[in-house]
């Protein structure tokens, strides 16, 4: 079923529309917030961006998802999810006003990053509650369609929020006061998602009472043991484990490409002009967003034609080869096209990873498998930024970094094919 057909089907449910609207408003607001952090950390006239600074900024944006991810489910399964969707945006909005005040007061950067970490920590609970609530608002036979459209729509709205943040920045300026205003507007928008969540009944989204559920302290202790058990289970499902590994590899090399692009635009392409650099990176982000969306349309047909175990290495290999061809001239025109290519390839691999894990892993292990997935998805990106900090020159022009990215994609695709070729391909 196509994306449009899936969306038309699930939107027939009133409760789904309310939950879906909560997600869309939140992720639109999150796009404004991410743009504000990006602009302050990497493209503020007052800051001199370095590869180490990029690594720090990306860690702030992503580490809460990696560290908190496996543990939030313990609370999501015990607290009213509708209340989480109401309270979390208010708390997050308050923290954003604090963050805006920190930026406006020109306090040292560590205070800004600490405040941003608090915002993202609360956001992790909010997104987890949204995911856990979905089965309560759609019939079982429409759950797959709902799972197909909600993440894609949320990602698109995040990109739209980034674009809206860019337009606001043009109006309010690129200084600290402008960034503070962006963060404050994002906080207000987050509050709107709480108002939408309030239209749902408190008991609608669960969790269902279970008298045999372990106590919270015991459940938290079991998380680490459960992750290890989930990893052992995944090892025995070759295609699911290999496809998750391909996704992790993509995130690593995509993280390197992100750090490389930020430094190139900040210094090599624009001679240190932060406004021109941000415009260039904005074009790359927009091109990547188009690639993400097209992958949702292309991947079902590609996996039907080639099968997942063939499409994943094709996507990885093409991404590696084209990224080398497009980036090695070190011209501004090459990076948006490379972003488009990596957007298609990366989202294709992610869709395939989602599918193989849901298809092959036993239901009892799915939660733990996706916790590992979450940790890899964000952790590898941060790890790549850290490596970039060690190898990138001040102006970002690094043939070594491009070679690692290109060769890494190709090698990962070949390794994936070698691991899965003994297995009879199964279409998605």
Question: Quick one: 422 exposed, middle or buried, by C-beta within 10 A (0-12, 13-18, 19+)?
Answer: exposed
Tens digits of residue pLDDT in 107-164: 777 787 788 878 877 887 787 778 778 778 888 777 656 766 777 788 888 888 988 9
Tens digits of residue pLDDT in 316-327: 999 999 999 999
Tens digits of residue pLDDT in 31-76: 898 888 877 777 666 566 666 677 777 776 677 666 776 666 666 6
User: 111-120, 252-261, 282-291, 298-307: which has the minimum mean pLDDT?
Assistant: 111-120
Longest Cα–Cα distance in the chain: 63
Tens digits of residue pLDDT in 249-263: 999 999 999 889 988
Local confidence band at 363 (pLDDT 50, 70, 90 cut-offs): low
d(C-alpha 289, C-alpha 295), whole Å: 10
Query: What is the structure's pLDDT at 428?
Result: 44
Question: Quick one: 415 exposed, middle or buried, by C-beta within 10 A (0-12, 13-18, 19+)?
Answer: middle
User: 24-33, 71-80, 132-141, 197-206: which has the minimum mean pLDDT?
Assistant: 71-80
d(C-alpha 118, C-alpha 99), whole Å: 9
pLDDT at 423 over 60: no
Give 174 or 257, the one with higher predicted confidence.
257
Query: What is the structure's pLDDT at 313?
Result: 96
Question: Quick one: 178 exposed, middle or buried, by C-beta within 10 A (0-12, 13-18, 19+)?
Answer: buried
Helices 109-133 and 14-42 meet at what angle, rounded to 10? 160
Query: What is the structure's pLDDT at 418?
Result: 92
Q: What is the pTM of this model?
A: 0.78
pLDDT at 208 over 60: yes
Q: What is the DSSP letter of 320?
A: H
Q: Smallest Cα–Cα separation from 304: which of 262, 351, 337, 338?
A: 351
């Amino acid at each position: 079923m196509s994306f449009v057909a899936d969306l038309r089907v699930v939107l027939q449910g009133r409760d789904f529309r309310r939950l879906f609207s909560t997600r869309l408003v939140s992720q639109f607001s999150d796009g404004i917030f991410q743009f504000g952090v990006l602009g302050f950390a990497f493209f503020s006239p007052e800051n001199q961006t370095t590869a180490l600074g990029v690594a720090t900024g990306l860690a702030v944006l992503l580490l809460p998802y990696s560290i908190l991810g496996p543990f939030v489910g313990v609370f999501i399964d015990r607290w009213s999810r509708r209340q989480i969707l109401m309270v979390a945006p208010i708390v997050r909005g308050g923290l954003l006003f604090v963050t805006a005040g920190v930026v406006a007061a020109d306090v040292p950067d560590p205070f800004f990053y600490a405040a941003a970490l608090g915002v993202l920590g609360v956001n992790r609970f909010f997104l987890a509650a949204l995911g856990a609530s979905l089965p309560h608002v759609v019939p079982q036979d429409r759950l797959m369609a709902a799972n197909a459209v909600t993440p894609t729509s949320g990602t698109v709205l995040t990109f739209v929020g980034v674009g809206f943040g860019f337009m606001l920045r043009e109006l309010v300026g690129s200084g600290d006061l402008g960034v503070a205003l962006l963060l404050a507007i994002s906080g207000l928008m987050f509050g709107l998602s709480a108002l939408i969540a309030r239209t749902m009944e408190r008991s609608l989204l669960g969790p269902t009472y279970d008298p045999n559920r372990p106590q919270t302290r015991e459940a938290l202790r079991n998380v680490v043991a459960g992750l290890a058990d989930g990893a052992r289970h995944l090892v025995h499902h070759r295609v699911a484990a290999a496809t998750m590994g391909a996704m992790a590899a993509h995130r690593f090399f995509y993280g390197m490409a992100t750090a490389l692009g930020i430094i190139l635009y900040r210094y090599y392409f624009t001679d240190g002009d932060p406004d021109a650099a941000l415009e260039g990176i904005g074009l790359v982000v927009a091109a990547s967003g188009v690639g993400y969306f097209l992958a949702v349309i292309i991947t079902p047909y590609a996996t039907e034609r080639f099968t997942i175990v063939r499409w994943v290495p094709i996507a990885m290999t093409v991404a590696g080869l084209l990224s080398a061809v497009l980036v090695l001239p070190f011209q501004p025109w090459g990076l948006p096209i490379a972003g488009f290519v990596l957007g298609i390839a990366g989202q294709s691999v992610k869709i395939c990873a989602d599918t193989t894990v849901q298809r092959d892993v036993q239901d009892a292990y799915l939660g733990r498998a996706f916790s590992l997935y979450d940790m890899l998805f964000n952790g590898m990106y941060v790890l790549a930024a850290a490596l970039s900090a060690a190898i990138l020159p001040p102006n970002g022009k690094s043939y070594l970094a491009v070679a690692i990215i290109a060769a890494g994609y190709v090698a990962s695709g070949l390794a994936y094919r070698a691991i899965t070729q003994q297995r009879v391909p199964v279409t998605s």
